[in-house]
Amino acid sequence: MTTHTSTAPTIVLVPGHWLGSWAWDAVADELRSRGRDVVAVTLPGLDPDDPQRSSATLTMQADALAAAVQAASEGSPPVLVAHSGAGAPTSIVLDRDPTSVTRVVYVDSGPSGDGSAFDATLPADVTELPLPAYDDLVASLDGLDDEQLRTFRERAVPEPGGVVREPVELSNDARRDVPTTIIASSYPSDVLMRMAREGNPMMAEVAELRDLELVDLPTGHWPMWSRPRELAAAIADAGATR
């Protein structure tokens, strides 16, 4: 059970692919030092001790995330923070109930579009997708030192194949009214918005948001490790000027 220490909404932190709640440790500590209540989530399929983890699906992740959001809603809906691939289950949660959060914060990520999938071409017989070799990662590793890279490699959990393949199903236009902050780290917000306007599949849904705040935090794709204090400040301040 969460013990609340402030009147501000609880912050629910959701890591991206291959990661558990531990990925947010430094950010969570910083947010708590600011008097905020924090819940960090490990999505189904990403607990290394779960013998059934490889059978997890995107729907299961969305179900678990919705339950975590509901549990954190004592007093007021929480702020939901989604890093990278966590944008997909987050989009499903908002589609089901746009009023379940007070704000969504995407960290180097954004909302998913209806019918999109992380990799719909992944063969059906592939049960899990391990963390690729760093040389093969498209995402930027800027700002990470050797120790952080070793920890990432050692603690990364293969992403279940069902999560990777399953398309996002969305139908509720009201999801686009949810107050949204995007923290752009691996590329600047002006590039992000140009991609959105040009219909880039990764960012096209951003152009449909009706209450959007952009924050630039220049670093790589994992700012929770490369710039944790600054990321915590950006999360804590999200929506403060609106």
Task: Name the residue with tokens 């290394």.
Answer: 48
Average pLDDT estimate for 93-105: 98
Distance separating alpha carbons of residues 45 and 101, to the nearest angstrom:
24
Are residues 76 and 53 in contact, defined by beta-carbon separation less than 8 angstroms? no
- Going from the C-alpha of 214 to that of each of 50, 58, 226, the distances in angstroms are 37, 27, 19
pTM: 0.95
Distance separating alpha carbons of residues 153 and 229, to the nearest angstrom:
23
Going from the N-terminus, what domains does the chain have, and what CATH number goes with each?
A: 11-237 (3.40.50.1820)
Phi–psi pair at 81, nearest 5 degrees:
-115, 120
Q: How much is the mean pLDDT over the chain?
A: 95
Q: What integer pLDDT is reported at residue 6 of this predicted model?
A: 58
- Going from the C-alpha of 106 to that of each of 49, 83, 109, the distances in angstroms are 28, 6, 5
Position 242 confidence tier, pLDDT thresholds 50, 70, 90: very low
Q: What is the pLDDT of residues 169-190, one digit of tens each?
A: 999 999 999 999 999 999 999 9
Average pLDDT estimate for 214-238: 98
- Going from the C-alpha of 240 to that of each of 15, 38, 57, 235, the distances in angstroms are 23, 18, 35, 10
Nearest alpha carbon to residue 83 among 209, 227, 223: 223
Distance separating alpha carbons of residues 136 and 130, to the nearest angstrom:
12
